[in-house]
Amino acid sequence: MSRDRVRVALIGAGNIAQNFHLPILANLHNVELVAICDRNKSKAKILAEKYGVPHHCRTLEELLKIDGIDAVDVCTSTDGHFDIAQACLESGKDILIEKPITRTAAEAKAIVELAERLDRKLMVGMNHRFRPDTVFLKDQLERDELGDVFYMKSGWLSQRSNQRNWLEQHDRAGGGVLLDLGIVLLDLMLWLYNYEEVHSVRATMHHHHTKKVEDFIVAYINFRDDRVATLEASWTLMRPEEFYYCNIFGERGSAFINPLKIIKRVGKEFSERDDLISTRGRTETYRKSYKTELQHFVNAVRGLVPVVSTGREAYQRMRIIEALYFSAKERSEVTLIA
């Protein structure tokens, strides 16, 4: 793409779009927001007027009739991702899809193969890869600062949001807390492990306050090279504040995020560093991660950088997610590779 400004349309004007995507896109110097599409046309109109967006519409068909759209930012509930992605790719648009890519691995594979066949860019929103603390941690691992890393554990405990009730509807979300919070932890650990192949998984899930989807999961992940990882995610554990963490253990040191710190042994003593990056509040950290992610997508559309959090990676994540669901159902370990 030759021109400096990418013409972007946003589909789905819910909570994540209003809090992060729209205000960020509206302020990126190399983005021109040209349309907002939402089932609630009144909402789309109000937001279009607020951000000075020239077009608003209710249906995907209306959106695709608008000339000059280069890329689409998909922020709908998960049940809309497959049809929207298919139609937009076939119309020649590059796409950013908020996680998860689709409800199933089969849907993900079909979208990935379509994007590859049409030579369109497909990126899946995993903003936690763009957090300042996780970026620092990735750099530490790339520079072998912790030595051979053999164990990683992560968790995200958060209360359900009344603004996102569709997450408890299996036909719309595809799953529960695993596809809401757990998938972020899974992606973070896979990314930090450079997407080493997963050999086998085992999971336990519970339905404490939700009938159709799980609201609690603990999972064990065994990699091909014998490294291991665990994750826990919950909407219902009794904790007044949100708790998010990722801890990494290597032969020469350990790393922890939220807050970020590095621990190493010096002789017989331990040294601890917790002044590695400037601290910021939770909201500002989230906003920074979304801004960096969206800017990266725009630069990828312009051909300046390669896509990260690719469709292929998203498909592999969904295969592991489905193995975790099967493991919980059958109460047994599931092997993904021989």
The residue-averaged pLDDT of 97-126 equals 98
What is the chain's Cα-based Rg?
Answer: 20
CATH number at residue 203: 3.30.360.10
Predicted confidence at residue 116, as pLDDT, reads 98
Predicted confidence at residue 283, as pLDDT, reads 75
Classify residue 310: in a domain, yes or no.
no
Instruction: State the Cα–Cα distance between residues 254 and 299, nearest whole angstrom.
Output: 34
How many CA atoms lie less than 13 Å away from 64 in the CB half-sphere? 15
Helices and strands, number each (H, E), in the chain? 12, 15
- Kindly indicate the confidence band of residue 42, based on its pLDDT and cuts at 50, 70 and 90: very high
pLDDT digits (tens, 9 = 90+) for 275-287: 777 766 777 888 9
Predicted confidence at residue 196, as pLDDT, reads 93
Residues 111 and 169 in one domain: no
Residues 207 and 232 in one domain: yes
Residues 183 and 330 in one domain: yes
Instruction: State the Cα–Cα distance between residues 327 and 202, nearest whole angstrom.
Output: 5
Predicted confidence at residue 269, as pLDDT, reads 84
In total, how many domains does the chain have?
A: 2
pLDDT of 338 strictly over 70? no
Neighbours of 306 (CB within 10 A): 11
User: pTM for the whole thing?
Assistant: 0.94
- Kindly indicate the confidence band of residue 337, based on its pLDDT and cuts at 50, 70 and 90: confident
Mean pLDDT of the chain: 94
Residues 123 and 146 in one domain: no
pLDDT of 163 strictly over 70? no
Task: Give the residue, 240 or 291, on which the prediction is more confident.
Answer: 291
Residues 250 and 297 in one domain: no
pLDDT digits (tens, 9 = 90+) for 197-236: 999 999 999 998 888 999 999 999 999 999 999 999 999 9
The residue-averaged pLDDT of 304-323 equals 97
Q: What percent of the chain has pLDDT over 90?
A: 84
Residues 172 and 122 in one domain: no
- Kindly indicate the confidence band of residue 26, based on its pLDDT and cuts at 50, 70 and 90: very high
For residue 18, give its domain range. Answer: 6-127+290-305
- Kindly indicate the confidence band of residue 153, based on its pLDDT and cuts at 50, 70 and 90: very high
3-class state of residue 277 by DSSP: coil
pLDDT of 164 strictly over 60? yes
Token pair of 336, please?
A: 């993904």
Residues 108 and 244 in one domain: no
Predicted confidence at residue 79, as pLDDT, reads 96
Whether residue 259 has a cis bond before it, omega within 30° of 0: yes
pLDDT digits (tens, 9 = 90+) for 114-152: 999 999 999 999 999 999 999 999 999 999 999 999 999
- Kindly indicate the confidence band of residue 24, based on its pLDDT and cuts at 50, 70 and 90: very high
The residue-averaged pLDDT of 312-319 equals 97
Classify residue 26: in a domain, yes or no.
yes
pLDDT digits (tens, 9 = 90+) for 170-182: 999 899 999 999 9
Instruction: State the Cα–Cα distance between residues 271 and 256, nearest whole angstrom.
Output: 14
Predicted confidence at residue 327, as pLDDT, reads 98
Residues 116 and 156 in one domain: no
Predicted confidence at residue 2, as pLDDT, reads 47
In 3D space, the residue among 239, 249, 247 whose CA is nearest the CA of residue 154 turns out to be 247
Residues 86 and 154 in one domain: no
Predicted confidence at residue 166, as pLDDT, reads 83
Q: What percent of the chain has pLDDT over 70?
A: 97
The residue-averaged pLDDT of 88-98 equals 98
Classify residue 329: in a domain, yes or no.
yes
The residue-averaged pLDDT of 28-33 equals 96
Classify residue 1: in a domain, yes or no.
no
Predicted confidence at residue 168, as pLDDT, reads 87
